Amino acid sequence: MEQLAQIVTKTPLLTGASAEQKREEIRAYFHQTFSLYETLFDCLARDQAYYLRAEPLRHPLIFYFGHTAVFFINKLVLGKYIQRRLDERLESMFAIGVDEMSWDDLDSTHYDWPTVAQTRAYRDRVRTQVDELIGSMPLSLPITPDSPAWVVLMGIEHERIHLETSSVIMRMLPLDCLRSHPIWSATCTESGPAPENGLLPVAGETITLGKPDTAASYGWDNEYGRKTVAVQPFRVSRFLVSNGEYLQFVQAGGYRNPEYWTEEGRRWLAFSRAAMPRFWSRRHDEYYQRNLLQEVPLPLDWPAEVNYLEAKAFCNWKAGQTGTHVRLPTEAEWTLLRNRLDADQPDWERAPGNLNLEHHASSCPVDRFAVDGIHDLVGNVWQWTETPVDGFPGFEVHPLYDDFSTPTFDNRHNLIKGGSWISTGNEATRYSRYAFRRHFFQHAGFRYIESDHAEVPVEPVNTYETDDLVAQYLEFHYGSEYFGVANYPVACVQTLLARIPGLNRGKALDLGCSVGRASFELARHFERVDGIDFSARFIQHGFQLKESGQTRFAIPVEGELVEFKETGLAELGYAGLAHKVDFVQGDACNLKPRFSGYDLIFCGNLIDRLYNPALFLGQVHERLNPGGYLVLTSPYTWLEEHTPRAKWLGGVKVNGENFTTLDGLRAVLGERFELAGQEDIPFVIRETRRKFQHTLAEMTLWRLK
Amino acid sequence: MEQLAQIVTKTPLLTGASAEQKREEIRAYFHQTFSLYETLFDCLARDQAYYLRAEPLRHPLIFYFGHTAVFFINKLVLGKYIQRRLDERLESMFAIGVDEMSWDDLDSTHYDWPTVAQTRAYRDRVRTQVDELIGSMPLSLPITPDSPAWVVLMGIEHERIHLETSSVIMRMLPLDCLRSHPIWSATCTESGPAPENGLLPVAGETITLGKPDTAASYGWDNEYGRKTVAVQPFRVSRFLVSNGEYLQFVQAGGYRNPEYWTEEGRRWLAFSRAAMPRFWSRRHDEYYQRNLLQEVPLPLDWPAEVNYLEAKAFCNWKAGQTGTHVRLPTEAEWTLLRNRLDADQPDWERAPGNLNLEHHASSCPVDRFAVDGIHDLVGNVWQWTETPVDGFPGFEVHPLYDDFSTPTFDNRHNLIKGGSWISTGNEATRYSRYAFRRHFFQHAGFRYIESDHAEVPVEPVNTYETDDLVAQYLEFHYGSEYFGVANYPVACVQTLLARIPGLNRGKALDLGCSVGRASFELARHFERVDGIDFSARFIQHGFQLKESGQTRFAIPVEGELVEFKETGLAELGYAGLAHKVDFVQGDACNLKPRFSGYDLIFCGNLIDRLYNPALFLGQVHERLNPGGYLVLTSPYTWLEEHTPRAKWLGGVKVNGENFTTLDGLRAVLGERFELAGQEDIPFVIRETRRKFQHTLAEMTLWRLK
């Protein structure tokens, strides 16, 4: 315990009065972290242990030993804060971890790892290099994300994450690979029978999630932004689920009964053949738990350590027992509990839980730290939540680490909250949000809640649209303007309204609405708007904007490099309009009869994408109110892939003569409509940072006769 | 003969003092033409004859009866001079002829032709409509191609063409389908033994071809423009080849001896199984000739009527007999002869040959009309030339008839010159140029010449590049500017020269030169330029510009509609520079050693199109002189179709971090080169009239260390 107390650190404040004092604070935090990380590897009894692959989904520990050093160099090179690499080979080999692999995605690459001595020598060179940089970098306070000091802190906090994840891997190594260590052997020695768990009521409350931009400590991209959630009342378990409580589930045949498991859980069970938690074992009818450096008889009052899938199965089993709605807390519910604690790292005197290496180098009984009767609000082990990780509105990636969070916004990574005994630095702060695939193991367990409602109040994740075409259209509708050309859907709506001053503004139809911008723009002027598109891929984004107010996409920059973007209704000026818009998938050439009674039918870049444009145009008058308008915009880009040549409205030779699309429109629409105006409207679609489509659409306005 | 004299007309002048007088002149010319055309069809003995298809490569005559009327309506609708069609069905059915079919391209469409009475009634309606239009159309003098009167003249002259071509088809009908007619039976009644042909010397001369824009009569698009040709001395046959002279070739086994025939001629022989000219027949050892309405014993002193392939075979046989270079005249050689005649329609008192229906309704003996001992300079039958039809420099299509000539610029249509007995209107003028596939029959024969040179002085035809991608690049290099963005190859050269003030200007290499614009631009500044491209499709246009000074292309407008363009070195300011430029096909990744010693290597939009850019960049320094520069421009659009992903220079994640193409260029080039500058240069590539690629290339300038 004395040894442990000596290595306790706090993550530095970004603020302060003296830049030079801050520089030395960062220097000290860097060396403490770098050294602490190395002490963990001192637990490896011999060099071979660095190369064992106890867990097939992870690299051997030699990778992690080098990786946290390489990370400093790679980010500093990327940020052009240092000019020269130290060792290209090692900096390539130690660059990419495999933490995000699925169990059915095993890595088959062969590595020719360097020796431990080589790696240690490399770490020493990095230490010197970073130390020099800390001494020489420009530094002003507060430290902001574009400052070199931020990149140094990023490297330090990154190493602190791996301090924890490497300790998890070590729990999977054979014990004879490990040896005792003054710091890491300082485990909790207490254990006993599991306390009886029970539920405490929690009042509902509307709370705001997200770390303020002004917060005084380093944060990862996914912590920032702001989201308000109305949390309904629930009842929460007083304790984390202990080994003893979880054992009941195991002994009740929980691992053999698929009905408790989610579909994903059943697939994982089939793969893993698990019969109990990963760090348990059973010999001669006795259960044991593997900790970092030792195995002990299962400590029944310590928290059970499981993955999300196991935790969820336990809840389902429990619900079956009680006949109530039992589940994990959501992120918001967990935060409501966490809000009962004012204390936060780095401000606290001492951690209000088994956290930040301030109490033990292991878990401890679940009944040691309580607030209002609720134990382990933070610390001991991470707590799984029901919430797949997602950025909060306002989310922005850091340019030097744009794949820290974005790959996890995929509905497959759930948040863990609260930290474990070995969570330090940023990991131990109030706002920290880490997420892992639901089958992964960390020093993580769970508490459960009982709710009045069957459904889990979790919103769909705003996954990044990476389909190039859909992302292209999202940027086209909601992104930046290029070459000074105004946003096209907005310009179309504004132009047509200016050209039709007396238009009734009841119902409008945005046919071929794609990702929906014109529908929202029309909603500023019409009472109701239907947005219809043939493609579910496209329309889902309009729908998502309507439902969640935001959507995300990644657009190509150059080659396979992408830029991450997000957009929101409020920032576009559409706050409060979403209820007027409905998005429906549909075929313009075969629309349901209920889509009628419109004062305006707007078809933006639609007609040259239909398989039978004349069929559509020949019937569209039936859907308009008297005095209604059909407005078409198109660059008349006829392509066989969309429209068979025989169905092109124009751009063909008819009887040997040139016959334009405008000729064709007049021929098809002339009987029912009067051409009331024509206008060219330019648009630009970005393909890459340097390549764009630049097009002149023709808008034609057709008044119903 | 009296009847014939009554129908002689002259094509109206475009100039005059009184617009109203001109209006009535046009009205009269229209009715004369419309009526004359109908008299030809009066030769058909019964209605069934309209529907016979005596010649499988042509429509039956009912089509041509309707077609010349429909043409007026279709062109007037296209030009928006009339608003309403008269009969959509007929105007579709009678729209497109099949004169351009090859013998191996037989039409299998089934037509449901209208009756003769219906067609005649339709013609009457057209006559009324056009007469009304002539009365009401705005008219000022001179008449110009954008005037409605020009379109009326176009319709009239078009009908006069079909007067002749229909008469050719009638020569193929069974005689019992035809009947005598006051006009069309007025044939020449004289014939006798063939005169002995012989050669007369013609002095060489440099002459200019092409109808001046200021000429006072209607012309088709292919007549205009201007081309200067140095004609070498030759000897010309005094007479057109007579039936008697041609009979020697037939009797010498000319149709059975492939050695006289061109490759194309041999293919035609195999298809047609011809044994003598198309309008000859042989019964009981006697030869007969089919004229328009009668068959007569072969008139030995009338001109032989053959296609180009037969005429050419005769020349080759004749050359074998004489041991000299015998061939057909080129267009220029024919024109040199024609220049001996001052007279031209419409100015002449009487036609100086059997032309314009002023002498006979048939051919006549070849020794009736002479100038300087050379007979039939014009008239009697058309004269095949060695010259495949092509536009002269300055060629422009008429927007209402953009496929009059352009489809014939294909190296498969040879010019006929001089007109026949039934050539009237424009057909009978000095500048008229008609062209048919070399196997087609008209009232056409030939004269031959003897030359001192084996080769035929014919230039390759500037066929229209219709490959969309190549045409796109021709427009990109040589066409219009869009969105105010300057011509890209020119901007690149100007920018790089401005950025490298002291650059030696010996040899430059334009690698990836595409269609060659930068090569010509570099030739303004360097002593020698090599233009190299991987694609022969592209580089042939640079080569053609170097050789002929011009090139042509058709760019998409909308759908399948195209716009015809041409460009020339002189108008681009590159006159006299072509000799400095060499175009060679080559692979940048595997260049021959001789391509070295350059002061500049310019690679415009090349590197992201190479299959191994690093291989190229790793060796390129060997080709530069000391102090030389490598200049790259590229939008870094990496695509798997051009470059395997593993070979992308950048735009990839390297060790998990973004690695741009510029990073990659520095890595590959940094050892040998110093980056001396960077600059963005925009470019625009037109895809259709409304759709463009708008791109920002990055230019990097690399100085050899």
Query: Tens digit of pLDDT for each residue in B168-213?
Result: 999 999 999 999 999 999 999 999 999 999 999 999 999 999 999 9
Give the up-direction half-sphere exposure of residue A274: CA atoms within 13 A in the CB hemisphere: 25
Which pairing describes strands A444-445 and A382-388: parallel, antiparallel, or unpaired?
parallel
When scoring B481, B690, B692, B693 by the number of chain A Cβ atoms within 10 A, the one with the most, hence best to mutate, is B690
Alpha-carbon distance of A674 to A676, in angstroms, equals 6
Which residues in chain A are closer than 8 Å to B561, comparing Cβ atoms? 651-653, 658, 660
What CATH code is assigned to B199-451? 3.90.1580.10
Which residues in chain A are closer than 8 Å to B73, comparing Cβ atoms? none
Q: How confident is the model at residue A96 (pLDDT cuts 50, 70, 90)?
A: confident
> In the predicted model, what is the mean pLDDT of residues A145-174?
96
Q: Do A692 and B691 touch (CB under 8 A)?
A: no
Strand partners, A604: A633
Cβ atoms < 10 Å from Cβ of B461:
19
Q: What is the pLDDT of residue B458?
A: 82
Give yes or no for residue A555 having a pLDDT over 50: yes
Q: How confident is the model at residue A100 (pLDDT cuts 50, 70, 90)?
A: very low
Q: How confident is the model at residue A104 (pLDDT cuts 50, 70, 90)?
A: very low
Reduced 3-state DSSP string for B528-589: EEEEEECCHHHHHHHHHHHHHCEEEEEEEEECCEEEEEEEECCCCCCCCCHHHEEEEECCHH
Give yes or no for residue A78 having a pLDDT over 50: yes
What CATH code is assigned to B2-177? 1.20.120.450
> In the predicted model, what is the mean pLDDT of residues A328-354?
95
Alpha-carbon distance of A529 to A423, in angstroms, equals 50
Is there a cis peptide before residue A407, judged by omega within 30 degrees of 0?
A: no
This complex has an ipTM of 0.72
DSSP string covering B211-261, please? B-TT-SB---GGGBS-EEEEEPPEEEESSPPBHHHHHHHHHTTGGG-GGGS
> Do the Cβ atoms of B159 and B123 come closer than 8 Å?
no
Question: CA angle at residue B252 from B248 to B255, to 5 degrees?
Answer: 100
In single-letter form, the type of residue at position A441 comes to F
Q: How confident is the model at residue B443 (pLDDT cuts 50, 70, 90)?
A: very high
Which pairing describes strands A528-533 and A507-511: parallel, antiparallel, or unpaired?
parallel
A606-645: per-residue pLDDT in tens?
Answer: 999 999 999 999 999 999 999 999 999 999 999 988 888 8
Question: Which DSSP symbol is given to A465?
Answer: B
In single-letter form, the type of residue at position B530 comes to D
Report whether CATH 3.40.50.9100 matches the domain B468-704. no
B650-665: per-residue pLDDT in tens?
Answer: 999 888 888 999 999 9
Q: What are the angstrom distances between the C-alpha of A151 and each of A30, A80, A398? A: 12, 11, 10
Q: What is the pLDDT of residue A448?
A: 98
When scoring B91, B655, B693 by the number of chain A Cβ atoms within 10 A, the one with the most, hence best to mutate, is B655
- Among candidates A74, A558, A638 on the partner chain, residue whose Cβ is nearest the Cβ of B636: A558
Chain A nearest CA to B404, separation (Å): 11
Q: Do A657 and B684 touch (CB under 8 A)?
A: no
Alpha-carbon distance of B410 to A345, in angstroms, equals 82
Q: What is the pLDDT of residue B111?
A: 65
Give yes or no for residue B28 having a pLDDT over 50: yes
A443-498: per-residue pLDDT in tens?
Answer: 999 999 999 988 888 876 777 776 788 999 999 999 999 999 999 999 999 999 99
Q: Do A651 and B558 touch (CB under 8 A)?
A: yes
Which residues in chain A are closer than 8 Å to B667, comparing Cβ atoms? none
Which residues in chain B are closer than 8 Å to A637, comparing Cβ atoms? 687-688, 690-691
Alpha-carbon distance of B459 to A486, in angstroms, equals 51
In single-letter form, the type of residue at position A690 comes to R
A470-479: per-residue pLDDT in tens?
Answer: 999 999 999 9
Q: How confident is the model at residue B92 (pLDDT cuts 50, 70, 90)?
A: confident
**Exposure class string for B167-188: b at 16+ Cβ within 10 A, else e:** bbbbbebeeebbeebebbbbbb
Q: What are the angstrom distances between the C-alpha of A471 and each of A412, A551, A686? A: 21, 11, 10
Give yes or no for residue A520 having a pLDDT over 60: yes
Question: Which DSSP symbol is given to A188?
Answer: -
> Which residues, other chains included, contact B633 with Cβ-Cβ below 8 Å and sequence gap of 6+?
B492, B603, B604, B605, B681, B697, B698, B699, B700
Torsion of CA B419, B422, B426, B432, to 10 degrees: -10
> In the predicted model, what is the mean pLDDT of residues B339-361?
95
Lowest mean pLDDT: which of A330-339, A506-515, B560-569? B560-569
Long-range contact set of residues B47-56: C-beta below 8 Å, sequence gap at least 24: B47/B115, B47/B116, B48/B177, B49/B173, B49/B177, B49/B178, B50/B113, B50/B116, B51/B113, B52/B173, B52/B174, B52/B177, B54/B169, B54/B172, B54/B173, B54/B174, B55/B169, B55/B172, B56/B106
Q: How confident is the model at residue B364 (pLDDT cuts 50, 70, 90)?
A: very high
Q: What is the pLDDT of residue B641?
A: 82
B457-508: per-residue pLDDT in tens?
Answer: 887 677 767 678 899 999 999 999 999 999 999 999 999 999 999 999 999 9
Q: What is the pLDDT of residue B410?
A: 82
- Among candidates A96, A402, A638 on the partner chain, residue whose Cβ is nearest the Cβ of B559: A638
B286-290, strands of its sheet edge to edge: B280-283, B286-290, B295-297
> Do the Cβ atoms of A162 and A64 come closer than 8 Å?
yes
DSSP string covering A270-314, please? HHH--SS-TTEEEETTEEEEE-SS-EEE--TTSBP---HHHHHHH
Q: How confident is the model at residue B100 (pLDDT cuts 50, 70, 90)?
A: very low
> In the predicted model, what is the mean pLDDT of residues B385-406?
88
Domain ranges (residues) in chain B: 2-177, 199-451, 468-704
Alpha-carbon distance of A433 to A427, in angstroms, equals 8
φ, ψ of residue A601 to 5 degrees: the values are -120, 115
> Do the Cβ atoms of B386 and B311 come closer than 8 Å?
no
Q: Do B651 and A558 touch (CB under 8 A)?
A: yes
Q: What is the pLDDT of residue A394?
A: 82
Six-digit token string for B45: 């003995």
Q: What is the pLDDT of residue A282?
A: 95
Closest CA to A682 of B690, B686, B557, B485: B690
- Among candidates A78, A561, A660 on the partner chain, residue whose Cβ is nearest the Cβ of B558: A660
> In the predicted model, what is the mean pLDDT of residues A170-181?
95
Which residues in chain A are closer than 8 Å to B99, comparing Cβ atoms? none
Q: What is the pLDDT of residue A461?
A: 75
Six-digit token string for B383: 């004269």
- Among candidates A91, A561, A636 on the partner chain, residue whose Cβ is nearest the Cβ of B651: A561
Closest CA to B697 of B670, B676, B678, B669: B678
Strand partners, B367: none
> Which stretch, A88-92, B474-478, B591-595, has highest mean pLDDT?
B474-478
> Do the Cβ atoms of A74 and B655 come closer than 8 Å?
yes
B419-433: per-residue pLDDT in tens?
Answer: 999 999 999 999 999
Q: How confident is the model at residue B548 (pLDDT cuts 50, 70, 90)?
A: confident
Q: What is the pLDDT of residue A457?
A: 84
Which residues in chain A are closer than 8 Å to B483, comparing Cβ atoms? 483, 694
Give yes or no for residue B4 having a pLDDT over 90: no
Q: What is the pLDDT of residue A420?
A: 98
> Do the Cβ atoms of A552 and A566 come closer than 8 Å?
yes
Q: What is the pLDDT of residue B407?
A: 82
When scoring B63, B398, B483, B558 by the number of chain A Cβ atoms within 10 A, the one with the most, hence best to mutate, is B558
B102-131: per-residue pLDDT in tens?
Answer: 444 444 455 688 999 999 999 999 999 999
Say whether B692 sits in a helix, a strand or coil: strand
Alpha-carbon distance of B362 to A271, in angstroms, equals 95
Closest CA to A37 of A422, A348, A436, A544: A422
Q: What is the pLDDT of residue A98?
A: 52
Alpha-carbon distance of B393 to B210, in angstroms, equals 9
φ, ψ of residue B373 to 5 degrees: the values are 85, -5
> Do the Cβ atoms of B68 and B126 come closer than 8 Å?
no
Which residues in chain B are closer than 8 Å to A558, comparing Cβ atoms? 636, 638, 650-651, 660-661
